[in-house]
Structure 1
Amino acid sequence: MYSGPIDVLIRFGAVLVGVGFLVQAGLVLRQSIAMAAPAADRIRDATGGDTVAIDGTVRATRDDAGGLRTVTAPLSGDDCVFAAWRIEEFFGHEVATQDGWTDHASGYDAEAFELADGSGTIAVDVSGDWEFLETEFDLAGLDSPHRTVSIDEDVPAEIRDFEAAVGAEDRTPAAIDVPTSDAGPKQGDRRYYEATIDAGDDLFVSGVASERDAETGLVVTGGGDDRLLVSDQGRRGATRSRLFGVVVLSVVGLLLCWYGVAPLLRSVPITPT
């Protein structure tokens, strides 16, 4: 059985977290199924309310003056229709402490854009709060750092301006009276990531087709449990990464649930028949 109240609380918490992992695995699996067998995988076949999974080419939209709607990527300065960024900071440089890279801040800026697949054109709505996963971005640029700046370096002007623009907090240096490691990253080191989408890029989009009006046609958004997924990895790459996520989430969830209920199960007497 459980060794005391603290043990009960810890294991109960493990069960709750484990259930959360399993629920998330179910949602990702549902998304994977919708991506593999959508109601429409060609734009011309989509109608309002359909789940869609479309490979196509990005097109920029035009403003009232006829100019292309674009944004400026915060790190590279490139003009594009979408720019996502992420900052990681290294924590735990002190000797004999847990250390690792931790997400410090993230965000994106975008203009309305369209996707064309040869059968038609559909708008893509990437509005929403990234923090609440209303939109998922599976972009290669967010996996490899655009730039790394050590705590010992003078912060370049463009990085300083970028951090001020996005409201990034100051770095957290290691305490000077605590022994630190001489090897590897130091506490306060930062890595900067950037991913962009521009006109002409190949893109895979999965979500729900919603009706706007007769003049502007359909738009792909997230709806209900069907999150909007925007990926530059193609249909196969996006589906593969989702299925891998299902396996990882399920294994972690089951292990946490087992950890929480194992003492209770071991206490149940087994009566031989």
Structure 2
Amino acid sequence: MISTLLSIAILVLAVGVLGIGGLYLYRASRSFRSAYTLRQRCRTPIREAVDHSGMVELEGTVAPIDSKTVTAPFSGTDCLAYIYRTKERIDSSTPADAPRSSDGKYALLDEGTEAVEFFLEDETGRVRVDPTSGEFEFSTETYEHMPWRDLPEPITRYVESTPAVDSQDPVLDSVPILSAIATWLVRNDRRFVEGRIESGQSIYVRGSVEPDSRWETGADAIVESGSEPSSIVIYNVPKRATAWRFAKRGGRELVLGVAALSAVVVLGYGYVFV
């Protein structure tokens, strides 16, 4: 009886691990395909891209329009676009409805994005980029709350002004000394993630090119979300770096997929010989 139950448990576990491995391998294939597609495409000069309407892929240097910028919340940097996420390691005090990160180890406490229109230019021309309703695929910086190191002042102000992030526990918060001790102990459980586009940075953009009705901006055209379901996608690194990012992601997913399938082989061996 015990042998039968053990065999069933091994079989169920093997099926689950097989599904996880298959998912990782599928995601790896998509990542590698994206990297290959990006590497195969030739760079299109902005002047050539604006001569026709429709979806284009452009690479160039960004510049502000009328000196308009936004301030990134964690670094305090004046920039043209930013994303941020605040994550906390999952434990018994984590809100049950808090969304999980992709690795399942962190809960997402807060996130947001802000951007202004900006110029994208190369040696051939200039376009105005409207990031409204855009998707941001940014490389990011992570600030960790370590016990021996204070957070940068912008993050301290952000934490104090954001209830969902500042509060640790209703009971502990009512006792200042306990709250201070708890805050010190869980510092390394918090991660503040920020990605941004700064003036003069080289970026990669996929979007729809349309004639620019605001000619006073000095742009040849505007890149924005088109009529198609997909919106404008903005990467805060050049095309080659974007392709390399997809390749690295695919490599990690491939390793995880192969590891999962290897585990299935081991479990299958155990199932056969139990």
* Band of TM-score, shorter chain: 0.5 to 0.7
Whole-angstrom distance in 1 between the partners of 2:230 and 2:16: 26
Q: Which residue of 2 aligns with 1:4?
A: 7
CA contact (8 A) 1:128 1:135 kept: no
Q: Could you list the per-position Cα deviations for residues 7-41 of structure 1 after superposition, in whole angstroms to 9, with x for gaps in the alignment?
A: 33322222222222122222222221232122643
Paired residue secondary structure (2:14): helix
Q: Which residue of 2 aligns with 1:162?
A: 158
Q: Which residue of 2 aligns with 1:23?
A: 26
Change (3 A) 1:206 1:254: farther
The alignment status of 1:239 with 2:243, answered yes or no, reads yes
Whole-angstrom distance in 2 between the partners of 1:36 and 1:224: 24
Whole-angstrom distance in 2 between the partners of 1:18 and 1:79: 42
Q: Which residue of 1 aligns with 2:201?
A: 202
CA contact (8 A) 2:39 2:240 kept: no
Q: Could you list the per-position Cα deviations for residues 198-236 of structure 1 after superposition, in whole angstroms to 9, with x for gaps in the alignment?
A: 33x2222143x313346363426697789835134x444
- Same amino acid, percent of matched pairs: 21
Alignment of 1:21-170 (within 5 A): 21-38=24-41, 40-46=43-49, 47-50=52-55, 52-54=57-59, 56-62=60-66, 68-89=67-88, 102=106, 104=108, 105-128=110-133, 134-138=135-139, 142-145=140-143, 148=145, 150=147, 159=155, 161-163=157-159, 164-165=161-162, 167-168=164-165, 170=167
Return 5+ residue gaps in structure 1 as ranges.
63-67, 93-100, 176-184, 269-273
Q: TM-score, normalised by structure 1?
A: 0.64
- For residue 198 of structure 1, what is the amino acid of its counterpart? E
Q: Tell me the number of residue pairs that the alignment of Structure 1 and Structure 2 aligns.
A: 233
Query: How big is the shift at 1:252?
Result: 0.9
Return 5+ residue gaps in structure 2 as ranges.
92-104, 173-183, 215-220
Structure with a larger share of its residues in helix: 2
The Cα RMSD (Å) is 4.2
Query: How big is the shift at 1:137?
Result: 0.7
Whole-angstrom distance in 1 between the partners of 2:259 and 2:233: 30
